[in-house]
Chain A
Amino acid sequence: MFEGGRDVVDQIVARLRRPVRIDPSLDARVMERIAALATPRRASSLAAAWRWLTEPRHVALSPLGGLAVAAGLVALALLFPTLARRPSPTIRDLQFVLVAPQATTVSLIGDFNDWDAARTPMRLARGSGAEWTAVVPLSPGRYRYAFLVNGSLWLADPAAPAALDNDYGDGSSVVTVAGS
């Protein structure tokens, strides 16, 4: 087909450089095919918003940008100290004492244990014979409470202020835990 050497190469180059004749109706036929394809349904704006919200994104941050963000956070914390120093409730152990020589059981019940007699049984102090005690951790606030002696007798704490908001007749007492 080719006669050897350099002529062969020249002939190949000449053949490749020859322009290819294109059918003039090609563009029209391509567009016709595209128009015939099914149009994909357009997603609703709600779905688009959902996709925008849920798709993970990569955030690029330069070291300088990172420092600027950190500085901004520190400035916010300084401007709004309540954000930086959210007050943490101080829990205090409070000891409740009742002197009840005739008692066989004493329970401490109040706003801090759902008024449940089984939750905080008081213990007889060793060697006293009559002093019942219980220690309860409480955060600052005002609590109403009472003692339940032998499972049926209600007693207000004689060493504490009485609760004026006493809606049920039996006496209740108040303990106030200071926060500062």
Chain B
Amino acid sequence: MTARRLLPALAVGLVATLLARRAAAQDPRLARLEPGTRALVAALVDSARAAGLPAEPLVQRALEGATKRAPGDRIVAAVRRLGADLGRAREILGSAASLAELEAGAAALRAGAAPAVLAELRRTRRQPLTVPLAVLADLVASGVPADSAATAVLALAATARDADLVEFRRAVERDIALGAPPAAAASVRLNAAAREARPGPP
């Protein structure tokens, strides 16, 4: 093939790629938003994609706002804030973090977890961090202070399976529902888990 034939083919390929990127940026699901809001959200989603951040959580946050009939500026603010949270989570967890880890990391940061806690989790746990981070955020949502929740999750995360962490959270929530102070509930359940993990005298 000569260069004369190759160049138009390359140009067509380039244009097709650009159009595909543009079409991908303008997710058809965003048609549920008002035109002005849609343009701003699409720009935010596009920016996130360009920065290597996952776009799907941003689309979902916008769609949630659309379904809840939230005002456009509120939707844009929510998407922008989530994008910033995802960016912070990726800075801490590293570029190899999965989409689920980034989402859970963003939720943990929003719940008040210190960046150092996320970094320590990444260092100590070999399995995915999605569930420990989600459990951390859920414990805070249940009323457990962020520091206590972080201490508990850090203590368990190195060795516990995902299912153990979810069960730990459920146990804490049951205790809180029965009237235990949230911090005390987390502490008591953590001690119980430590006793179970440590082989002791019969």
Contact = CB atoms under 8 A, between A and B. Distances in A.
Given A164-B111, A165-B111, 14 more contacts: A44-B3, A47-B3, A50-B1, A50-B6, A142-B133, A161-B169, A167-B61, A167-B81, A168-B65, A168-B70, A170-B68, A174-B107, A176-B138, A176-B166
Interface stretch (B14-22, B123-131, B193-201): B123-131
Contacts of B165: 178
29 contacts: A50-B1, A54-B1, A111-B60, A114-B29, A115-B67, A116-B63, A140-B128, A141-B100, A141-B130, A142-B107, A142-B130, A142-B134, A161-B137, A161-B141, A161-B142, A165-B82, A165-B111, A165-B137, A168-B64, A168-B78, A172-B64, A174-B137, A176-B104, A176-B166, A178-B131, A178-B161, A178-B163, A179-B131, A180-B162
B110 interface: yes
Band of interface residues on B: 35 or more
A51 interface: yes
Contacts of B166: 176, 178
Contacts of B63: 114-116
Contacts of A179: 127-128, 130-131, 162
A164 B130 contact: no
Given A50-B6, A142-B103, A142-B104, A114 B60 contact: yes
A103 interface: no
Interface residues of A, number: 34
Contact of B137 (A109, A148, A164, A170): A164
Contacts of B103: 141-142
A115 B1 CA distance: 51
| Dominant secondary structure at the B interface | helix
Contacts of B128: 140, 179
